[in-house]
Structure 1
Amino acid sequence: MTELTGKTALVTGSVQGIGLSIATCLAKAGARVALHGLATPEQAAEAVAAVKGAGAPEAKFFDADIRDIAAVDAMMQAVAEWGGADILVNNAGIQKTASYAELDAATWDAIIGVNLSGAFHTMRHALPVMAERGYGRVINIASVHGLVASVNKAPYVASKFGLVGMSKVAALEYAAAGTKAKGGVTVNCIAPGWTETVLIEPQVAARAALHGGDRDLGIADLLAEKQPTKRTSNPSEIGELALWLCNPVAHNVTGTTIPVDGGWTAQ
């Protein structure tokens, strides 16, 4: 287990799913955790309690619409006053499946705003401070759709390809920051394939409908089409990989995109 005592992590989109699993893994290693999301007070309180229960010495919820630049600026200032983000995980993301003929400008703007622009605005605040400290980790949760495309996902694929490219630029700009001993500043993406989250539920439902409403058959249909292992990932698996990337021994792992996709992108 990586020792993160004294470090502060900001994980966007962390009240459920992959984000909460990452926050929990970092908490187990002793990090203070800044949680974020659009959530009810009850959902926010539950997430904070879960992270504290996992071992975080402190946890706090930050409420900001990631599409709103002013709101992101305010959140990053508040996190800075709370101790600053040594670790930034951009996990907030939305998706809508629709063809070019069905998509509208509002859907495009929303998906790009959350998945790509929001990550840029958190990074531009966090990275200079990480460089000053000599240690920093930016982990952007991309997708296999940051590496390969699928039909009916134009804005989502565009946002994730953009996130991968943007991360490479940041990795190069901050490659020389810090030292091996301190861990340096790294920027990487994790690219999950089919993972058990609410984000894939609309696609599961659509496939299940083709099999008389059988959810298990719907999932099997999705996996057979794309993911050679025919196994989904659990969000905690993404969390454990994010935790490893925070280890100082990963100081030379930067500018990468690591698929967790059962061989999807190897085809």
Structure 2
Amino acid sequence: MIRGKTALVTGSTSGIGLAVLQALAAQGANVAMNGSRPAEEAEEARRRIEADYSVEALYFPADMSSPLEIAQMIARAEQAFGSVDILVNNAGVQFVAPIEDFPVEKWDQIIAVNLSSAFHAIRAVAPGMKSRKWGRIINIASAHALVASPFKSAYVAAKHGVAGLTKAVALEMAQDGVTANAIAPGYVWTPLVERQIPGTMRARDMTREQVIEEVLLKAQPTREFVTVEQVAALAVFLASDDARGITGAILSMDGGWTAQ
């Protein structure tokens, strides 16, 4: 049962994270939002979630590159709700450039937000989940957790790391009633994907339309973007009791990309 549980979704003010948060709230979970919106926008989003789904919602502006702020967010959510039962590590950033031109600060940022933040969040929720003998850890990985693309060295490294982290956590907590799985979407039309198009245009000397058709959708045999609603539906299933036998899995949702 998801109803009455508490879900914390990082990077949940737009894109995949928001869709997952809304889908869990629709199932009756109280939710903790995270993002970097201005205070007024964040409060409006929080109120809208509560009004639309009749659940409790809190907003935390924690910087996902800061281990201290992540730990404080988890502690405050546990204090407010009594527990964090479902953790969805979704926060992510991207940068596209040839490796010889890749800024060191961008490498550090991507590893911190896309990989290390998941470690810090899992580390913080693990004691409570183990003590209650119930928990769901869902990491939003990527097809790039399984295969690589050029000009995305940091992102590919981080997502491969997320896959390994997911498996290690699943084994550690296998007898504690806690599952850990990763969803590996292909290209989903989100602000993150849209923002990487200019960098890919520069790196590959392509037009916007060429990047979409010859780089993004070319990778997916369906020639269609995955939708945020599809990813959210899988997250809801992984959070349910029906999925208690699934742990340590890296579940592809990529239009056939990694089947090639």
Scaled by the length of structure 2, the TM-score of the pair is 0.93
Please give the per-residue CA displacement for 1:114-136, whole angstroms capped at 9, x wherever unaligned.
01111100000112211111110
**Which structure 1 segments of 5+ residues have no match?**
178-183
The 1:131–1:57 alpha-carbon spacing in structure 2 relative to 1, beyond 3 Å, is: same
Q: How many Å apart are 1:106 and its aligned residue?
A: 0.8
1:189 to 182, 201, 206: 182
From the superposition, tell whether residues 75 and 191 of structure 1 become closer, same or farther in structure 2 (CA, over 3 Å): same
Q: Which amino acid aligns with 2:124?
A: H
Aligned to 1:147: 146
- Aligned to 2:7, the other structure's residue is in SS state strand
Q: How does 1:71-150 map to 2 (within 5 A)?
A: 71-82=69-80, 83-150=82-149
Deviation (angstroms), 1:79: 1.0
Structure 1: which amino acid aligns with 2:224? R
Amino acid aligned to 1:51:
I
CA contact (8 A) 2:135 2:179 kept: yes
Residue 227 of structure 1 corresponds to: 220
Deviates more, 1:104-113 or 1:85-94: 104-113
Which protein has the bigger helix share? 2
Q: Which runs of 5+ in 2 are unaligned?
A: none
Partner of 1:245: 238
Instruction: Judge conservation of contact 1:33–1:56 (CA < 8 Å) in 2.
Output: no
Residues 224 and 118 from structure 1, CA distance in 2 versus in 1: closer, same or farther, beyond 3 angstroms?
A: closer
Displacement, 1:41? 1.4
Q: Which amino acid aligns with 1:230?
A: R
- Partner in structure 1 of residue 35 of structure 2: 37
Question: Cα deviation per residue 1:152-206 (whole Å; 9 max; x = unaligned)?
Answer: 11111111000110110000000011xxxxxx21000001101010111134455
Q: Contact between 1:223 and 1:231, CA under 8 Å: does it hold in 2?
A: no
Q: Are the counterparts in 2 of residues 52 and 58 from structure 1 also a CA contact under 8 Å? A: yes
The amino acid across from 1:41 in the alignment is A
Task: Write the letter of the residue equivalent to 1:45.
Answer: E
Percent identity of paired positions between Structure 1 and Structure 2: 43
Query: How many residue pairs get matched?
Result: 256
Contact 2:95 2:196 (C-alpha < 8 Å) held by counterparts: no
Letter in 2 for 1:96: F
Q: Secondary structure at the match of 2:100?
A: coil
- The structure-2 alpha-carbon separation of the partners of 1:118 and 1:263, relative to structure 1 and needing over 3 Å to count, comes to same
Q: 2:13 maps to which residue?
A: 15
RMSD: 1.7
C-alpha separation between the residues in 2 aligned to 1:253 and 1:203? 33
